[in-house]
Amino acid sequence: MLQSKIYYDVQRLFSEKECLVYSNRFDEYIAITNGLSVSDHIAIHNQLTVLYTEFKLSMTIGRGETSFEANISAHKSRQSKEALNSATSIFGPPPNNSSPEFSTNNSSPEFSTSKSYHNASDLTGLNGDFAQIMHIDVNDSRKIGFSLTPYEVTSLMAKVYSLLSEEFLKKKCMAFYIGGDNFMVISNDLSEEDAKKIISRVGSAAGVKLNCGIGVGNSGRKAADNATKALDTIRDLREKGRLESVYKI
**Structural domains in the chain?**
2-126 (no CATH), 131-248 (3.30.70.270)
User: b/e per residue, 13-39, with b = 16+ CB within 10 A?
Assistant: bbeebbbbbbbeeebebbbbbbbbbbb
Instruction: Give percent above pLDDT 70 in the chain.
Output: 84
Q: What's the average model confidence in pLDDT over 59-87?
A: 86
Residue 182 host element (H or E): strand 182-186
User: pLDDT class for 81, splitting at 50, 70, 90?
Assistant: confident
What is the reported pLDDT for 122? 41
- The model's pLDDT over 203-242, given as tens digits with 9 standing for 90+, comes to 999 999 999 999 999 999 999 999 999 999 999 999 999 9
CA dist 216 and 99 (Å) reads 21
Closest CA relative to residue 213, chosen from 202, 226, 200, 201: 226
Q: Indicate if the pLDDT at residue 29 is higher than 80.
A: yes
- The model's pLDDT over 131-186, given as tens digits with 9 standing for 90+, comes to 999 999 999 888 998 999 999 999 999 999 999 999 999 999 999 999 999 999 99
CB 245 within 8 A of CB 238: no
Half-sphere exposure of 122 (CA within 13 A, CB side): 23
CB 51 within 8 A of CB 118: no
User: pLDDT class for 65, splitting at 50, 70, 90?
Assistant: confident
3-state secondary structure of 129: coil
What is the reported pLDDT for 107? 28
CA dist 154 and 176 (Å) reads 15
The single-letter DSSP state of residue 243 is -
- Spacing of C-alpha 102 from chain mean position: 20
Please count the residues of the chain: 249
User: b/e per residue, 61-80, with b = 16+ CB within 10 A?
Assistant: bbbbebbbbbbebbeebbee
CA dist 37 and 109 (Å) reads 15
